[in-house]
Amino acid sequence: LSWDVSNWVEVDLNFDESEVRKIGGLKSEDEKINVEIIRFTRYEDESLRYARVGFIANAPSVGYRVYKIMRDEPKKENKNFIRIKGNIIETRNFDVRFNPENGFIYVIKNGIKVCRANELVLEEEIGDLYCHKETTGCPLKTEGGEGVKYGSYRMKNFWIDGSPIRQVINIEVDYFSLRWPYRLVDALKPKIWRHNFRELRKRNYYEPEG
């Protein structure tokens, strides 16, 4: 590419016994960056056998960049912070709010909702590779409630994890073809769920802006 690129990178590393005991960060020339240890295994002497690390790499427009392992964590202050407060992920320029009731994600900037995202849509699709048809004229069901009234999505679980350099919203959702009662759903919560048609998992990654 003819321009610099900054992106999330994951690398698998293998070590000899007693070679490396700790990965505190990475260094490339004068740049020192934090690193996330995604998973690892150790030898009997507690040195690292294998590690999968993730970090935000900055690649030049022409050529390549080499990162070396550091034992200690970088001490420089990162202005591009990222942190969790309840169901909100805060960054320097915007916030991401997660609604545990329906799984929606709202992007907020300066206290104003910019957009809503992360909505699942189940569409009807019949026919073959060359001819697609619909009979209902609308999605079978969306997480927002649009579509056929009998079925519905149900939030099963959610959690936020990650590291100081990124956060991950994990959402597990089931779609049931039948719920009861299916009328007056704003006033009456469903008591019966039948025919678990889909088990879905969504993962949303958030990194501090450069």
Query: What's the confidence (pLDDT) of residue 67?
Result: 93
The pLDDT profile of the chain, 210 residues, written as one tens digit per residue, is 678 888 889 999 999 999 999 999 999 988 888 888 889 999 999 999 999 999 988 888 888 889 999 988 887 655 566 778 878 888 888 888 888 777 788 899 888 989 888 888 888 777 777 777 777 777 888 888 888 888 888 888 888 877 777 888 888 999 998 888 888 877 888 888 999 988 988 888 777 654
Candidates 19, 58, 64, 57; CA nearest to 35 is: 57
86 vs 16: CA distance, rounded Å: 41
Query: What's the confidence (pLDDT) of residue 1?
Result: 60
Consecutive H or E run containing 170: strand 166-180
Query: What's the confidence (pLDDT) of residue 69?
Result: 92
Query: What's the confidence (pLDDT) of residue 23?
Result: 92
Predicted confidence (pLDDT) per residue in 49-100, tens digit: 999 999 988 888 888 889 999 988 887 655 566 778 878 888 888 888 888 7
Query: What's the confidence (pLDDT) of residue 80?
Result: 61
16 vs 4: CA distance, rounded Å: 34
Asked whether the beta carbons of 188 and 178 are under 8 A apart, the reply is no
| Percent of the residues in the chain that have a pLDDT greater than 90, as a whole number | 19
Non-local CB neighbours of 194 within 8 Å, separated by 6+ positions: 176, 177, 178, 179, 180
pTM of the model: 0.66
Tokens 């030049």 locate to 60
Asked whether the beta carbons of 7 and 62 are under 8 A apart, the reply is no
91 vs 109: CA distance, rounded Å: 10
| C-alpha pair distances (Å), 77 with each of 37, 50, 69, 203 | 20, 29, 19, 28
Query: What's the confidence (pLDDT) of residue 66?
Result: 92
